[in-house]
Amino acid sequence: MINRLAWVFAVALTTVACATNPVTGSRELALVSESQEIALGQQSAAAAVAQLGLVDDPALQEYVQRLGKTLAAASERPDLPWAFGVVDDPTPNAFAAPGGFIFITRGMLALMRSEAELAGVLGHEIGHVTARHSVAMISRSQLAQLGLGIGAMISPTIASLGELAGTGLQLLFLRYSRDAELQADDLGYRYALGQGYNVAEMSNMFVSLQRVGEASERSTVPAWLSTHPYPEDRVRRIQARVAAEPLPTGLRSGVDEYMEHIDGLVYGENPRNGYFREQLFLHPDLGFQVNFPRGWQTRNMAQAVLAGSERQDALLQLTLADGNIHDAAAKFFSQQGIEATRVSEEHINGLPAVTGYFSAQTEQGLLAGVAAFVSLDQHTYALVGYTPAQVFSSYEPVLRAAVRSFNRLTDPQVLAAQPQRLEIIRSSERMSLTAFASRYPSTVDLNELALLNQLDDSGTPVPAGYPFKRVVGPPAP
Ligand SMILES: [Zn+2]
């Protein structure tokens, strides 16, 4: 009897809950099947693209995609639907969604100097996928939650954005264990070396990220550092490994190819995508501005602008809506669970609009809010602010003022704002970074320039032909 039970138990385990780890070959408990893993990854990848947007540079995208796919094709899981993208985010970061969807930010690309470094970072992220690190961390409750697409504080009824902000993204910014990070480094090293890259350069990235962290006057914390701690440790490990098993000769760095692809890359915030000047949100490309409530936290995402009150009990979201203002308003106010009041046509700063109040019964209780649909230059904008019903009266004036601040942007300087860009210049002679910077002025200071060029001493001359990066273009007004 006992034997039989044990046997039944063993069968149940192998058929239901056990899978072989592709990297280690060991069998481990897996709650998530490969098809679930891919589905979850697709969801996360869609959320990343929706939130961050992709860099509009087909040649660069193709370059990163090609390199990534080459590395992944030689990995333990060549048959996953591997996809690689450069996201439009100035913060240095790289991340992998389960199932083989890998992203690197343009802020990370700006810090690198060679294809070998890029191969190391992509290889590291590929390693998280091949070793199923995120799969191992997905709990049953997360699985259930992701399936339902529950956003943080927002009801399913009014919530496209909550889903956008919540669903899937949690999978992208997992904190892996130290062992998982080191394993991803080892795998990345192996994948990059397998394609003939000079893996000794992998440590350059860690050094650069560490320097970004130390120069912490910059408002952006390097995200890759917060999810990828222990940089000194990792630099030491790579150096030790190179020392222990000498690298073959003739390994590639690919500095020229790399520099060619990042020449002209947008650097820092891109004002064309909209930007904040204090609480005033300005969008030169779409030609509008909105004044968000004072003291609220704001966030500019690719498909929405979000603002949350200090106590996090009120939210204001701005999105583009489909159809004209009447269609969009009708669609919004007629949603199941929403009760609309005082819906009327009017003008907001001379622009045709439909506005109204609403309440919505949700899993989080009764919400109350204000919504406006405004027409400007063939686009319909939806501004929706809401709070729990019991505090709505205290927020109503603030929300109404913000919604009614929507206006056409007319400041010619703002309308003409252009992003700063990287420019690659090869020195015609031996020169130091300081000499370079005085001959070819940048709009960033010498420290930041040193970081971008991976030079820690701006006074030491580098050989002629060295591809220097500089940053050109004035900051947004
Ligand atoms: Zn990692």
Closest by CA to 476, choosing from 220, 212, 273, is 273
Centre of ligand 1 from the C-alpha of residue 104, in Å: 12
Q: How far apart are CA 237 and CA 234, in angstroms?
A: 5
- Residue 458 tokens read as 């701006």
Centre of ligand 1 from the C-alpha of residue 174, in Å: 9
- Band (15; pLDDT cuts 50, 70, 90): very low
Centre of ligand 1 from the C-alpha of residue 74, in Å: 19
- Condensed to tens digits (0 to 9), the pLDDT of residues 380-418 reads 999 999 888 999 999 999 999 999 999 999 999 999 999
Centre of ligand 1 from the C-alpha of residue 175, in Å: 8
Q: How many CB atoms neighbour CB 477 within 10 A?
A: 15
Residues belonging to the chain: 477
Centre of ligand 1 from the C-alpha of residue 189, in Å: 13
Centre of ligand 1 from the C-alpha of residue 424, in Å: 29
Q: How far apart are CA 88 and CA 270, in angstroms?
A: 9
Centre of ligand 1 from the C-alpha of residue 234, in Å: 11
Centre of ligand 1 from the C-alpha of residue 423, in Å: 29
- Band (87; pLDDT cuts 50, 70, 90): very high
Cβ atoms 385, 399 nearer than 8 A: yes
Centre of ligand 1 from the C-alpha of residue 184, in Å: 6
Centre of ligand 1 from the C-alpha of residue 212, in Å: 17
Centre of ligand 1 from the C-alpha of residue 266, in Å: 25
In CATH, the number for domain 272-414 is 3.40.1000.10
Residues whose Cβ atom is located within 5 A of ion ligand 1: 181, 184, 228
Q: How many CB atoms neighbour CB 194 within 10 A?
A: 15
Centre of ligand 1 from the C-alpha of residue 228, in Å: 6
Residues forming beta bridges with residue 319, ordered by sequence position: 382
Centre of ligand 1 from the C-alpha of residue 251, in Å: 24
- Condensed to tens digits (0 to 9), the pLDDT of residues 256-313 reads 999 999 999 999 989 998 999 999 999 999 999 999 999 988 888 777 888 888 887 8
Q: How far apart are CA 45 and CA 363, in angstroms?
A: 27
User: Torsions phi, psi of 377, nearest 5?
Assistant: 45, 60
Centre of ligand 1 from the C-alpha of residue 30, in Å: 20
Average pLDDT of the residues in 437-446: 94
134-170 burial: b if 16+ Cβ within 10 Å, else e = bbbbbeeeeeeebeebbbebbbbebbbbbbbbbbbbe
Centre of ligand 1 from the C-alpha of residue 299, in Å: 25
Centre of ligand 1 from the C-alpha of residue 125, in Å: 6
> Chain-wide mean pLDDT for the chain?
83
Tell me what pLDDT residue 151 has.
Answer: 30
Centre of ligand 1 from the C-alpha of residue 229, in Å: 9
Contacts of 33 (CB under 8 A, 6+ apart): 19
Position 239 pLDDT exceeds 90: no
pTM of the entire predicted model? 0.81
Centre of ligand 1 from the C-alpha of residue 127, in Å: 8
- Residue 474 tokens read as 């004035």
Contacts of 64 (CB under 8 A, 6+ apart): 84, 85, 86, 104, 118, 122
Centre of ligand 1 from the C-alpha of residue 202, in Å: 13
Centre of ligand 1 from the C-alpha of residue 128, in Å: 7
Centre of ligand 1 from the C-alpha of residue 412, in Å: 43
Proportion of the chain above pLDDT 70, given as a percent: 82
Centre of ligand 1 from the C-alpha of residue 163, in Å: 25
Q: How far apart are CA 208 and CA 78, in angstroms?
A: 31
Q: How far apart are CA 389 and CA 392, in angstroms?
A: 5
- Of 157-166, 183-192, 321-330, 386-395, the one with minimum mean pLDDT is 157-166
- Residue 366 tokens read as 């009764």
